[in-house]
Amino acid sequence: MCALSYLKNSPDQVLDALRAGEISAIDVATEQVPDFFVLYAIGSGLLDQLAQSFPDPRTQQPEIPMRLLLAAGVTGHFAGLYALSQLPYALHSPRLLAELGVQVVVNQPGEGLSRRGTKEQAPFHGDVIRKFLELIGKQDKEAKLMPGHSLINWFNGHVGEIFCRAVDAEPIIHILDCTLLSVTLTNERYEMSGVTSRMEPVAGSSQPVKTSERGYKLGTLRSLLDEGAVMSAISWGQIQDNDQVLTKELVYNTPHLKSGDILLEDRGFLDAATITYLKAVRQVDVYTGLKKDMLTLRGAIAQANAHPHAWKPHPTRKNQEIQLVSGMGSLWDGLGVAVNVCVVRCKDKKTEDWQYFGFITTDLSASAKRIIETYQTRPEIEEDYRQLKSSSWHLEKFCTTRLVQILWHVILTLVAYNLFQIYANTEKGRSFAGKTKQRIEREQRRNQEAFLLICTPQAFGVFETKDMLYLMLGLPDDIRQKLQAILIQKRE
């Protein structure tokens, strides 16, 4: 097996050696999807900012710097290498390694970046990350915190701000939501996991069946950009936790909600005290839906029907009508701010009876149409979560039962997702805007460009394949025979 070690990137030196037939290796190097994004993170300074803000628990000068661990984590999550033992293998692109300051040469086993080396074809052993995370978990426990709490604090205190700053963005619309991260129900070893039960309908039967699920719940604040969004803050809990309780501290304290901003949330987050606090204290307007049994909605429906000529066409849905109703805040116990309600009605196709829905906002300047159009931004989060939990991102693909390692996996997935979104908002990354990671990977496989990685004992270079073929064809016969011997040796 071969390992990676330090070399310098010196194309001119390598070309001179090639012309003399004095090279040590030739290999094919193809650009992968992660390269585009991680190279941007390096060149823009994003990776350095993330590394510098990270709560590195190592007290001595580490052999493997934080920027390299983060680069391996992010690259691995782009490449679908989600196990800790796999992450070092994500760093195989010569160009990427060169930008990280890790240069490439074919060496003997045991000559990796750490002093003890590695017998694997990777720059460092996966145990480096595992022990690093164990130290974080230990320090959190000693501070009487959940293991991995430091990772959440890092994300909430630095990550979202760093990514927004990278594209000079100050998002004003944010979406609050939660998603379930399921694990094996019978495996009780998942640290601090919870269990929830619910009644599920069964096809062909009138009797529902009780089902149980084990896992965690991830709360996210998603801040909208010109293209896409970034996950700017998160909360974490057990799968059975109430959405509103889980995210309450987040919305009360996150710096990403500023005066004049808009927060969109669904009915699972309804809480009069939180809505009052956001509007009265933080001057953040909330847009959310009302539950059918709420007195506020029933009063708004009665008020709307008292003005039959005030109904207007729904802006996006045929056969639906909307009407703005004011002064319903007093019907919501505990609500200390004024709200407007947009009542929506449509006829049941079977009974021809009117069905009603309601959406409220603390933004009293918003019309019924604006309430609907703003709230309709929210369903985009469902597609985002579908993408994040797909086989492309592996958000809930856990290869461990240790909570600190699970949180590392989830947070690094969100960092990679943010990098994907931010790069699409740059001039260079415009071609990725509006595309899923899965689609980009398919396109890249169809149009993959190959390069040649050529090494000498002291240096390496990455060259266009056609250019190198043209150069090699013009070399003297004895030099070409030397190069042929190297290629034959590689094949053997």
Distance between CA atoms of residues 93 and 35, nearest Å: 7
As to burial, measured by CB atoms within 10 angstroms (0-12 exposed, 13-18 middle, 19+ buried), residue 204 is exposed
- Confidence (pLDDT) at 119: 44
Backbone phi and psi for residue 447, each to the nearest 5 degrees, phi listed first:
-120, 35
Domain range annotation of the chain: 8-143+401-446, 266-377
Region label for 455, one of left (φ > 0), alpha (ψ between -120 and 50) or beta (otherwise): beta
For the CA atoms of 358, 359, 365, 370, the dihedral, rounded to the nearest 10 degrees, stands at: -100
- What is the crossing angle of helices 33-43 and 403-423, to 10°? 80
- Confidence (pLDDT) at 78: 74
- Confidence (pLDDT) at 182: 93
Distance between CA atoms of residues 139 and 150, nearest Å: 9
- The b/e string for 55-68 (b: 16+ C-beta within 10 A; e otherwise) is ebbeeeeeebbbbb
- Confidence (pLDDT) at 90: 60
Q: Are 459 and 14 in contact (CB under 8 A)?
A: yes
Segment 177-217, tens digit of pLDDT:
999 999 999 999 999 999 999 888 877 777 888 899 999 99
Q: Which residues are within 8 A (CB) of 257 and not within 5 positions of it... i.e. 6 or more apart?
A: 174, 221, 251, 263, 278, 282, 284
Element (H, E) at 295: helix 295-305
Adjacent-strand bridge partners of 72: none
pTM reported for the whole predicted model: 0.78
DSSP string, 55-105: -----S--SS-HHHHHHHHHHHHHHT--STTTHHHH---HHHHHHHT----
- Confidence (pLDDT) at 114: 42
pLDDT < 70: residue spans in the chain: 1-9, 27-34, 60-63, 79-95, 98, 101-126, 379-387, 389-392, 429-450, 489-492
Distance between CA atoms of residues 53 and 120, nearest Å: 30
E strands in 312-389:
312-313, 320-326, 340-347, 354-361
DSSP string, 212-264: EEEEEEEEEEEEE-SSSEEEEEEEEEETTS-HHHHHHHHHHH-TTS-TT-EEE
Cα-based distances in Å from 177 to 16, 268, 384, 444: 58, 9, 11, 32
C-alpha atoms less than 13 angstroms from C-alpha of 35 in its C-beta half-sphere:
15
Backbone phi and psi for residue 223, each to the nearest 5 degrees, phi listed first:
-105, 125
Segment 460-483, tens digit of pLDDT:
777 778 888 888 888 999 998 888
Positive or negative: CA dihedral 313, 314, 320, 326: negative
Distance between CA atoms of residues 387 and 220, nearest Å: 15
Q: Are 171 and 223 in contact (CB under 8 A)?
A: yes
User: 3-state DSSP call for residue 40?
Assistant: helix
User: 3-state DSSP call for residue 131?
Assistant: helix
Nearest to 327 by CA among 337, 318, 317: 337
Q: Are 144 and 88 in contact (CB under 8 A)?
A: no
- Confidence (pLDDT) at 394: 77
